[in-house]
Amino acid sequence: MTDPRRNLPGVDVLLASGAFQGILEAYPRGRVVEAARDTLVLARGEIATRGEAAVPSDEAEWARRVEDLLSVRDLPSLRGVINATGVVLHTNLGRAPLSEAARAAMAGAGWGYSNLEFDLDRGERGSRYVHCVDLLKELTGAQDALVVNNNAAAVVLGLNSMATGREVLVSRGELVEIGGGFRIPDMLSRSGAVLKEVGTTNRTRVEDYRGAAETGDVGAILKVHRSNFRISGFTEEVQISDLATLAQELGLFLFHDLGSGLLADPERLGLPREPRAIESLKAGATAVAISGDKLLGGPQAGIILGDPEVVGAMRKNPLCRAFRVDKVTLAGLEATLKHYLDPEEALREIPTLRMLAAPLGVLEERAHRLSRELHRSFPGNRVAEGIGVVGGGTCPGVDLPTWTVRIKPSGSSPRALAMELRSLPRPVVIRVEDEEVVIDLRTVDPDEDPALASALSEAVDAGD
């Protein structure tokens, strides 16, 4: 019997055919040659498992396969996805989606030149660090503000500026690990400061800080908000106001790493009380560090708020250049902060806040609508209540009641359908529970509902 692989056409034969002329006009010849070779390699592998039936029947089918391969290779590595997981601040999916105004501002800043470091009034060099400062001062009551590239950088810069070469007091219950395996003790060490632990894992008192400050060369107290876990039971921690009193008495800096960046009223979002920068500053913190891309709802950034002398020293610190923020991020952050000048506008325009505050009745209505649209592709789908989470290392233990569409595929496994959804040109990311695909509409923008329905139908067709 003749080996069907001997009948495969050569690359030159394929490229000389009329079916390939359109591809050669659309793509550089070298790329088409490479894609044709790879398509032939794939065909040889398919023949080994499926036999001669795997060989394309004509030149048009060969051309389609090559063009499909070229299209896949043209997809950007970083691309938009539909988040149907129910995790609002999904770190792996880029955390906070941005408002329309923020996206427009970032596009505008990236399109051409800008006054990033140019003083338009004086006609000479300016500073990128003046942007967003007035807004941050107005919204938080801070005397000064500095924007860097993320909250971890803000913490390292702050500690390096306030206590390099000196000891920093940190409660043992606040020596947290954030995403990616980064730990507060390691970051503190890299800042040039020296960690001095106080208290115990579950209980730390003012006396613990005072006693530790009496020995050694202590420069600052660092309080870390436990934003990604909770300690319950027999616990005790020192409030920021009490630490501020102690720090003032002992002549120490008080640095509060808040992380989450919440500016909105948590009650309006259905969230429990969460410490905010405005409260820490009023309580007497020297400086506060928050994130721009968590509950604030903007682009990735680290924001330092506080005493003008201390923040000014951070601005002059050589590390500040290593941690500096770019023009596109500053534009997006400024547009996001402007929403907060009107609290109602912030809830309406910032996607993170809008998702958190989404009424259950609206989510249920959308779920039933999607269920009806999926009836032909997934006749057994059902609408059910569910639980989402805030995510992004914030509000641990807080459940977000929601409505979901659940699918038990008949022709494949839930994980196979999930993989098919992730392989689409506009990937859809879902979660799998109890052998069902779960689609949580809280994290899907209503404008994306039609695209989500089409993607699910496309995935089931591809699986067939």
Report residue 71 CA to chain centroid gap: 27
- 463 has a pLDDT exceeding 60: no
| Pairwise CA distance, residues 290 & 158, whole Å | 12
| Pairwise CA distance, residues 288 & 297, whole Å | 18
pLDDT for the residue numbered 229: 58
Question: Across residues 98-109, what is the average pLDDT?
Answer: 97
Of the pLDDT bands very low, low, confident and very high (cuts 50, 70, 90), residue 464 is very low
- 36 has a pLDDT exceeding 50: yes
Backbone dihedral angles phi then psi of residue 274, each to the nearest 5 degrees = -130, 130
Class of domain 100-349: alpha beta
| Pairwise CA distance, residues 417 & 338, whole Å | 41
- 107 has a pLDDT exceeding 80: yes
Give the bridge partners for 222, in sequence order: 255
Alpha carbon of 5 to those of 1, 45, 51, 60, 205: distances in Å? 12, 9, 9, 19, 77
Of the pLDDT bands very low, low, confident and very high (cuts 50, 70, 90), residue 58 is confident
Of the pLDDT bands very low, low, confident and very high (cuts 50, 70, 90), residue 173 is confident
Percentage of residues in the chain having pLDDT higher than 90: 67
Beta strand residue intervals within 44-149, DSSP E: 82-83, 87-89, 118-119, 124-125, 144-148
User: Which tens digits make up the pLDDT trace of 6-21?
Assistant: 678 888 999 999 999 9
| Pairwise CA distance, residues 404 & 384, whole Å | 5
**Element at 68 (helix H, strand E):** helix 59-74
List the Cα angle 80/86/92 in 5-degree steps.
45
Give the bridge partners for 438, in sequence order: 406, 431
- 425 has a pLDDT exceeding 90: no
What is the overall mean pLDDT for the chain?
A: 90
- 128 has a pLDDT exceeding 80: yes
Q: What is the CATH number of domain 82-91+353-463?
A: 3.90.1150.180
**Domain limits, the chain:** 10-74, 82-91+353-463, 100-349
Question: Across residues 268-274, what is the average pLDDT?
Answer: 87
- Mean pLDDT highest for which of 53-67, 70-84, 179-193, 357-371? 357-371
pLDDT for the residue numbered 180: 60
Question: Across residues 148-167, what is the average pLDDT?
Answer: 94
Task: Scan for tokens 């938080």, then name that residue.
Answer: 140
Of the pLDDT bands very low, low, confident and very high (cuts 50, 70, 90), residue 5 is low
52 or 346: which leads in pLDDT? 346
Whether residue 149 contacts residue 299, with contact meaning beta carbons closer than 8 Å, is answered with no
User: Which tens digits make up the pLDDT trace of 201-238?
Assistant: 888 899 999 999 988 899 999 999 875 556 666 668 88
| Pairwise CA distance, residues 222 & 161, whole Å | 13
User: Which tens digits make up the pLDDT trace of 287-329?
Assistant: 999 999 999 999 999 999 999 999 999 999 999 999 999 999 9
Which amino acid makes up residue 328? V
pLDDT for the residue numbered 203: 87
| Pairwise CA distance, residues 333 & 105, whole Å | 9
Of the pLDDT bands very low, low, confident and very high (cuts 50, 70, 90), residue 253 is very high
Question: Across residues 166-173, what is the average pLDDT?
Answer: 92
- 352 has a pLDDT exceeding 50: yes
Tell me the three state secondary structure of residue 241. helix
**Element at 407 (helix H, strand E):** strand 394-407
pLDDT for the residue numbered 319: 95
HEC letters along 326-341: CHHHHHHHHHHHHHCC
53 or 61: which leads in pLDDT? 61
- 115 has a pLDDT exceeding 90: yes
How many CB atoms within 10 Å of residue 464?
Answer: 8
Give the bridge partners for 385, in sequence order: 403
Tallying the residues shown for the chain, one arrives at: 464
Q: What is the CA radius of gyration of the chain?
A: 28
Burial (CB < 10 A; 0-12, 13-18, 19+), residue 303, is buried
- Mean pLDDT highest for which of 58-72, 115-129, 188-202? 115-129
pLDDT for the residue numbered 398: 85
Of the pLDDT bands very low, low, confident and very high (cuts 50, 70, 90), residue 70 is very high
Burial (CB < 10 A; 0-12, 13-18, 19+), residue 410, is exposed
Question: Across residues 399-419, what is the average pLDDT?
Answer: 90
Question: Across residues 413-426, what is the average pLDDT?
Answer: 90
pLDDT for the residue numbered 238: 83
pLDDT for the residue numbered 129: 95
pLDDT for the residue numbered 184: 81
* Nearest one of 46, 319, 30 to 156, comparing CA atoms: 319
